[in-house]
Amino acid sequence: MNIIVFFQIVIAVALIGLIVMQSSSSGAGGLFGGGDGGGMFQKRRGIEKILFNGTAIALGLFIVLSILNLLY
């Protein structure tokens, strides 16, 4: 197995976990437009900020690995 594909699989699993943890922390009311946010912007703090930044980094790594996999 190609090493790039191996790292893609590992990052994909981590990305799925991060996204699931992010959506579970926002509450089910946010899926249908409800919730206590009322559509107002709220600053991310604590674990929400860590999850958001981790998701963005994992997504960036996954995209870079996907492009490298296409080229090599």
The CA distance from 20 to 46, in Å, is: 17
pLDDT recorded at residue 39: 58
Cβ contact 61:10 at 8 Å: no
Instruction: Considering only the C-alpha atoms of the chain, give the largest distance between any 2 of them, rounded to a whole number of Å.
Output: 48
Whole-model pTM: value is: 0.72
What is the band of 52 on the pLDDT scale with cuts at 50, 70, 90?
very high
* pLDDT tens track for 1-46: 799 999 999 999 999 999 999 887 665 545 555 555 555 667 888 9
pLDDT of residue 38: 54
Domain segments of the chain as ranges: 1-24+45-72
Q: Which distant-in-sequence residues (6+ apart) come within 8 Å of 51 by Cβ? A: 18, 21, 22, 25
CA 14 to chain centre: 8
Question: pLDDT tens digit string along 55-67?
Answer: 999 999 999 999 9
In this predicted structure, what is the pLDDT of residue 1? 72
Structure tokens, 8? 């893609």
